[in-house]
Amino acid sequence: MNYFDQLKHAARLFRHTKALWFLGMLAALFGQNEYGFSVNYSESVPSSGAGPAASPFGDASTNPMLASFLANPLPYLAAIGALALLCWVVVTLVGWLVQGAMIDLAEQAEHDLAPSVRASFRHSRAQIWPLFLMNLIVSLPSLILVLIAAALFFPLMVTILRSGTPDFAVLVPRIVGSLLCLVPLFLLNALAGVVLRLVNILAARACMLEGLSVRASLRQGWLLLRRNLGYTALNWFVLLIVGAIFSFAAALPALLLLVPAARAFLHNEWTPFAYGAAIGAAVYFVVMSIGIGGVLTGFNSTVWTVLYQAFQRRMQPVASDIGAL
């Protein structure tokens, strides 16, 4: 198997199957975008004259909503958590519905079948719950880590807000200690996250293309990852480099548009040029993130589907030899 031949083959399939471009943009719209970029703008301002230091958070009691939150934060946290969970479930379900359709459509193109977006969505809808559950399983380590971080930092935040003028001599050591506990966990989670993501990518294709259950799909994804670790890591690295190039190239024009708009916002000096830059920045972010980024997301999905099928073909002689024995 030649990796770059598979990459060129995936590019040909993607170029000739325009429906994959649309599905990629739709996937990006629902949180499945694999190509993003960001820009930041900041200004230093002169400090004000000497005087008594004001509380950085003011008097919480003057804000009824904040005072109510600080008096009994659990109901608010439960409501926020439930809303965030509901949004995540809806976005994830729709995102994986589109991802499943892309996998099926790429498989149709691979076998020279007439692409049918409707049939692909029908097939994806039949497998949506296994796809969702696999994504949930591989997301559990990150979710647990977020909960741990919230448990460590939320009491500190409440203490700061309640005190108005917090004693940083006491708070800083607590914050530093919490960070020292979390940094190794975040590093381990980042490494595990790469492995789990690769397993999930292959498992999703096992689910869609072979109709396997959640457990069987995850087992198949892990097996293919172990037996094709070099090719999988190479493809992940190549797509990572493409993503980095996209982020750098997309950020430069965005920064040129953002600077005049940000300066106008900070200084309240709006001019027709600043309004135009703000509108242009908004349009540019949508076009690049959802448009170009979505198309490239569809390409990524096609590449992984082609590689999955190549991995399966590599395993067939092994399975035949075992059967002969």
3-state helix, strand, coil in the chain (%, to 5): 85, 0, 15
Residue 149: its pLDDT value, please? 77
Helix (H/G/I), strand (E/B), else coil: 197? helix
Residue 320: its pLDDT value, please? 45
Q: pLDDT 10s digit of each residue in the chain, 325 long? A: 788 999 999 999 999 999 999 999 999 988 888 888 888 777 765 555 445 444 444 555 566 766 676 667 777 778 888 898 899 899 999 999 999 999 999 999 888 777 788 999 999 999 999 999 999 999 888 888 877 877 777 776 766 666 656 556 666 676 777 677 777 877 887 888 889 999 999 999 999 999 999 999 999 999 999 999 999 999 999 999 999 999 999 988 888 888 888 888 877 888 888 889 889 989 999 999 999 999 999 999 999 999 999 999 887 754 444 344 4
Distance CA 168, CA 175 (A): 10
Side-chain half-sphere CA neighbours of 148 within 13 A: 15
